[in-house]
Amino acid sequence: MNAPPFLKVKEFPFIEEGEVRKVSTCLLVLEFVKCYQRMHVRCTDFTGNPQNGQLTYKQNNLDVTPDQLISFPMLEREFDSLNKSYQEFYNEDFDLVDAYGDNEYLDVSDRLIVITVNLTLRLYKGCLEPYLYDPDLVEINACDTNEKPLVLDLFEEIKSRKEYLKSVEHLAKTMMPEDLTLESSTIAKKEPELIYIDDRIVDIEFTDDDDECDSSVVIPDTPRVYSVSEIKQMPMSLDKTPYLVNAKICGTFPDDWIYLATRMLTSQQVPIRDLELIVADADVDEETLLDERNSTSIFVGWEKLLKLTGCKSQKQLYSNVSSAKLRFAGKMGFPIRLEIMKDKKAINSDTQKVVWSLVQIVS
């Protein structure tokens, strides 16, 4: 049986729904994250493929665009094997499996894990989501004639990202050929003076004579708007970042809002529990079966629920629960834009879980 071709991500063959193709490639591992109840590994070789998904990666001096980021599931035994190879190769005590642990997320771009893998290419919802086989940590001296040119090209891509390379230079001396790391070290020694000059430029005060650039004009960043399917793929670790999402509110829990009040403390005190919104991709219709890939829960605290329903107090909400739900019903069943954040929610007296929490309904 012929071995699959060893290709860069940009060279992967274009595939149709239902079609599968086998390839091999070399990738830098960026992160491990739980997705659809399975661990996924997200990687790049810094080359682009239009069939990749919509995820990006912007950490540790790396800026990986959606067409450059590829994600695929990894089995527990493959993760264990990679962990052992990593520890032996770098003579490291750091344990990837333990670090992934309960958070079910681990950023490893600063660990310089470069792997060769066999992939079975397939599409899910129009995007590449291959199956992975035989992930091996790269050892340049063990690479065959097919693998070595692509591995060296990836090393050159890493080397060209000078700030990132500085952060992993102690590992690069083990992973990459000596001529590459020596050259980068020489360049790094010459850079402080240039960096110092660049830092000082920021503090220069411009005058009115500098009419080629109007410093009063601020170009705002356009915030990205996600789908529910996309936020489902994000690691559930707190990041204090607001996200915009196009969604459709399909239901609430509890469905009968009378159960929002757990008990009445006094005639003036009615504790209201969080409302759980069941939201799905904005393009779902009545015939769409909601599942863990196209729907999720967003929690609404009682204070925000009062604002959304026009009630002034928890007691007023409880006393007029039918009309409050009727007012909220006008926001359900059609595409709507929500601003959400990750937040901690108590599951019991000992356990907290990271969940999506509503900031506001934007439109």
pLDDT in tens, 41-95: 999 999 999 999 888 888 889 999 999 999 999 999 999 999 999 999 999 888 9
**C-alpha to C-alpha distance for 198 and 196, rounded to whole angstroms:** 5
Confidence of residue 1 (pLDDT cuts 50, 70, 90): low
- 28 with 154, same domain: the answer is yes
Q: Range of 81's domain?
A: 9-181
Neighbours of 165 (CB within 10 A): 22
Q: Which two tokens stand for residue 103?
A: 């958070």
Query: Is 211 within the bounds of a domain?
Result: no
Query: Is 134 within the bounds of a domain?
Result: yes
192: preceding bond cis by omega (within 30 degrees): no
- 176 with 103, same domain: the answer is yes
pLDDT confidence of residue 5: 93
Q: What is the CATH number of the domain that holds 313?
A: 2.40.50.860
* Residue 71, Cβ density class (10 Å: 0-12 exposed, 13-18 middle, ≥19 buried): buried
CA distances from 59 to 54, 64, 167 (A): 16, 9, 12
Query: Is 208 within the bounds of a domain?
Result: no
- 175 with 234, same domain: the answer is no
Domains: count for the chain: 2
Query: Is 356 within the bounds of a domain?
Result: yes
- The 10 Å CB-count burial string (b at 16+, else e) for 6-33 is bbbbeebeeeeeeeeebbbbbbbbbbbb
**C-alpha to C-alpha distance for 250 and 286, rounded to whole angstroms:** 9
Residue-wise pLDDT tens digits, 139-191: 998 999 999 999 999 999 999 999 999 999 999 999 998 877 655 444 444 44
Residue-wise pLDDT tens digits, 280-315: 998 888 788 888 778 899 999 888 888 888 887 888
- 13 with 131, same domain: the answer is yes
Query: Is 1 within the bounds of a domain?
Result: no
Q: What is the CATH number of the domain that holds 98?
A: 2.40.50.140
pTM exceeding the 0.75 threshold for the entire prediction: no
